[in-house]
Structure 1
């Protein structure tokens, strides 16, 4: 086995990835396509009939499909950092208050059918998202827009309701993707799995009933943008389990596998790699947490949520279930992002039954608290069930709670969570963009991702707007620190752990270290066969 360290640019203070390599072999699709495996499942249901519509999609797996085929005005570079122009040739704030943002489109920009992309298409695409306002919460990223003005064929100006230094990041997300008016209704979602855009690839989905088996990405000959394609075709194959995906990699049926590998796979590939397979650790900003429906009877009392925060042993969960792939997290903002504070650790200290009992007693809660913890069985990997079994056992061992757990497929789980059916539920968060704002506003802002009934006026009306006024993001630190402290006291969410991310690939595939960025964005254009 050949072991080497791969030096990449530092991203948000994280360590550079480590590459572990072994012998070589040929693999992949018979037609020359690079084949990538994933456990993400793409399904059209009665609750989600338009999974690939940018106005509806708000999930990392689906966004990773859209990033290949739908172009945005801006994009986050391969190694992270501030957004750079993509469909635009130039974008900038035209005022010191960060309320007016102007973009100039690239010359010759066209959709995949050759139709020119104009400023009117930009206006149509983004106003469509805001008009449809899907219940997934995706439109919330763009809700700060007041008006969109076009100037000629190639200029578009966004007037914002309030200063927002993070707006360029929001224009880099698929919800701001550009779509042609002829293919998308201005007031209605587009059902099914077809996608039309001006991104680096065209898309064709192969399905079994309402579920996608494989997505074929083919180089878009009309593409003009900042991305440099290193291949002509990539297939994204969806597997039912990490184990099935791993077998396909070892046999050469696929060239690379990505989210979500199991903790056991990652451990085994690091300790005893399969011949011809290499594993790469990539900087990641994933977090996992418990969310609460704060109107539900069982957790409406803040003391119940606080008592849970006082006894949950994050270190045991991370070590017992995820090993070296996870570390305990004591705030919604990961420890690798500036402005992070260990607010939950500061508030509750190490796990303590005595402290939890006192919290409940002082609040007049004298009986054992019955709870059901809900989790998704097929969205975050095989470790999720083990994680919730560990949480159940920890809480029950105190004698203060009587906990059961209940799992559901993502296609059922997410709609039920949005409806408020679950008092307590587990979710993961892969940031839309690498700024602390994206670990705050999607949880506590208006039109938030969770659809939570929890509202804190200080956070929503003062602290979030205050943080967005700071073009120098370090100047927003006091606002973010205060938000984290409020969250630790009110416990509308309970952060559990922060994860690392990994990619495994067969020898002969290059660009693997860039296949995922810090926000878990899949960058298939970086992959190629042969020497790096």
Structure 2
């Protein structure tokens, strides 16, 4: 089955001169990130593919775990990776078969078989970790093996997006002897058959450095250009990460540059640092516990949608690096509509007052907006202060904001402790389904009590039947219209993506794919101009 490439996701743009040449030397390429990786009671298994479901953790797993399918270098339809070939074997898109490459082996040299693939996938579904990625695989009914090299997935319902799901770490192939069948693997160890092996360095339960060394037993289509790459964490401090880059202590930084850093490297492209800008699929949104007061009343959520000025929010906090978003589905994805703008138009406190008055809601409505202090960059606090000001200035709301570290924040959100909370989303794969199902389907990422049967039982299955995603537009449009009316989530903005690298680093333009996934195997050290 062939799915169309995402419209508008063009090759990255390099701002400033890069180096020339290629190859690598014995010195590790060091990549900085503001992602925090911590083990705690709330987050016991940050790198177990049955548990991990955030961009930072997946960026580690993609280097170390092999998947049957993978997204190609510049985006587009998934292609075989651990598999030699894959495809639907029936006319109803309900049976998907893959034949493994010959010579596949884990990093310790043990062979990878179809039984290992079956074990890995069934383990994720069996454990079904709260807030984990099992929902991506929940449409699998039976996993069948035929000999050591063939695995067949029997699906409950047709799903043309299934190849994309097999390209995610949720379907990563793990070594069974290191991953218990019925419980999570705690800590920072990862054992797979991907292009790199991982050695983690942690201090007091927090990962400070992930060292990736080339896996000599790797067999696949990825071609690591460096023998050694290090990922260093600068949690909550993009400025420290930037200073390290400029001093040469690190070679590249990706997630997350601050708006000020992006502006600096854009306006002053000289020196030893290059900035790569490319279209992004990152979105930010407010979500609601639709059973919690005061937002259990749909009118309150609709009034918030009527008041929030996305354009002012994006420009004030993020400048040119973000654009207002009027749907869960980003503007560059096939099937996107401006559903929230079509429903509410321009921000209007007067219209919001009418909504609340018709519903009999007394004003001002008191509520608390929750955000995470250390997961999406330090600008998040300013973003939520701006949201609070917009709501309060209408006279219809009296809002407070509360920030919490990520390792506590996510656990509290899943327990239903927040009525209104902010989250971001980096897609698992570039298709509208992945901006809808994780929020609205059963066993969703938010653990949301919101359930719309038309969306779950009719429209999502309809959209998945269409291999040509343009033909899914009617179903996707109806979903987006329902979301705009019910407001279980309130989309805010869509961001671009950026990488800053020293000028002797080659492959920086490929360091992030269209879904903001790190591709460390693309990096090498060359000769600066």
The verdict on how the C-alpha distance between 1:230 and 1:11 changes in structure 2, with shifts beyond 3 A counting, is farther
Match for residue 318 of structure 2 among 313, 317, 322: 322
Q: Does 1:158 align with 2:153?
A: yes
Match of residue 411 from structure 2: 415
1:28-65 deviation per Cα after TM superposition (whole angstroms, max 9, x unaligned): x9950000000001000101111110100000000000
- 1:28-47 equivalent positions in 2, closer than 5 A: 32-47=27-42
Partner of 1:146, secondary structure, is strand
CA distance in 1, matches of 2:19, 2:246: 11
Displacement of 1:18 in angstroms is 2.1
Match of residue 397 from structure 1: 393
Match of residue 139 from structure 1: 134
1:55-94 deviation per Cα after TM superposition (whole angstroms, max 9, x unaligned): 0000000000000000000001111111000000000000
Displacement of 1:322 in angstroms is 0.2
Partner of 2:177, secondary structure, is coil
Q: Does 1:51 align with 2:41?
A: no
Match of residue 439 from structure 1: 435
Q: Which runs of 5+ in 1 are unaligned?
A: 1-9
- 1:301-316 equivalent positions in 2, closer than 5 A: 301-316=297-312
CA distance in 2, matches of 1:48, 1:20: 38
Match for residue 220 of structure 1 among 215, 223, 244: 215
1:250-284 deviation per Cα after TM superposition (whole angstroms, max 9, x unaligned): 00000000100000100111002361100000221
Report if aligned partners of 1:395, 1:403 keep a CA contact under 8 Å in 2: yes
CA distance in 2, matches of 1:222, 1:375: 43
Partner of 1:215, secondary structure, is strand
Q: Which runs of 5+ in 2 are unaligned?
A: none
CA distance in 1, matches of 2:41, 2:106: 30
Q: Does 1:200 align with 2:198?
A: no
Match of residue 328 from structure 2: 332
Match of residue 452 from structure 2: 456
1:98-142 deviation per Cα after TM superposition (whole angstroms, max 9, x unaligned): 000000000000000000000000000000111000001310000
Partner of 1:235, secondary structure, is strand
CA distance in 2, matches of 1:519, 1:78: 11
Match for residue 346 of structure 1 among 342, 348, 357: 342
Match for residue 128 of structure 1 among 93, 114, 123: 123
Match for residue 378 of structure 1 among 367, 374, 377: 374
1:467-518 deviation per Cα after TM superposition (whole angstroms, max 9, x unaligned): 0111111111000000000000000000000000000000111100000011
Partner of 1:286, secondary structure, is strand
Match of residue 499 from structure 2: 503
Displacement of 1:19 in angstroms is 1.2
Report if aligned partners of 1:21, 1:276 keep a CA contact under 8 Å in 2: no
1:384-419 deviation per Cα after TM superposition (whole angstroms, max 9, x unaligned): 000000000000000100001000000011001111
CA distance in 2, matches of 1:136, 1:500: 26
CA distance in 2, matches of 1:122, 1:18: 38
CA distance in 1, matches of 2:423, 2:97: 36
Report if aligned partners of 2:6, 2:332 keep a CA contact under 8 Å in 1: no
The verdict on how the C-alpha distance between 1:423 and 1:177 changes in structure 2, with shifts beyond 3 A counting, is same
Which 10-residue stretch deviates more, 128-137 or 286-295? 128-137
Report if aligned partners of 2:507, 2:524 keep a CA contact under 8 Å in 1: yes
Match of residue 3 from structure 1: none
**Which stretches of structure 1, 4 residues or longer, exceed 4 Å deviation after superposition?**
22-25
Aligned residues: 520
CA distance in 1, matches of 2:36, 2:361: 42
Displacement of 1:16 in angstroms is 3.8
- 1:225-304 equivalent positions in 2, closer than 5 A: 225-240=220-235, 241-273=237-269, 275-304=271-300
Q: Does 1:361 align with 2:361?
A: no
Report if aligned partners of 2:6, 2:334 keep a CA contact under 8 Å in 1: no
Partner of 2:331, secondary structure, is coil
Displacement of 1:529 in angstroms is 1.1
- 1:109-120 equivalent positions in 2, closer than 5 A: 109-120=104-115
The verdict on how the C-alpha distance between 1:515 and 1:356 changes in structure 2, with shifts beyond 3 A counting, is same
CA distance in 2, matches of 1:23, 1:154: 43
Give the TM-score, by structure 2 length.
0.97
CA distance in 2, matches of 1:148, 1:531: 49
Partner of 1:284, secondary structure, is strand
1:161-200 deviation per Cα after TM superposition (whole angstroms, max 9, x unaligned): 0000011000000010001111111001001000000000
Which 10-residue stretch deviates more, 280-289 or 243-252? 280-289
Match of residue 522 from structure 1: 518
Partner of 2:312, secondary structure, is helix
Give the TM-score, by structure 1 length.
0.96
Report if aligned partners of 1:24, 1:275 keep a CA contact under 8 Å in 2: no
Q: Does 1:488 align with 2:484?
A: yes
Q: Does 1:105 align with 2:100?
A: yes
Report if aligned partners of 2:50, 2:132 keep a CA contact under 8 Å in 1: no
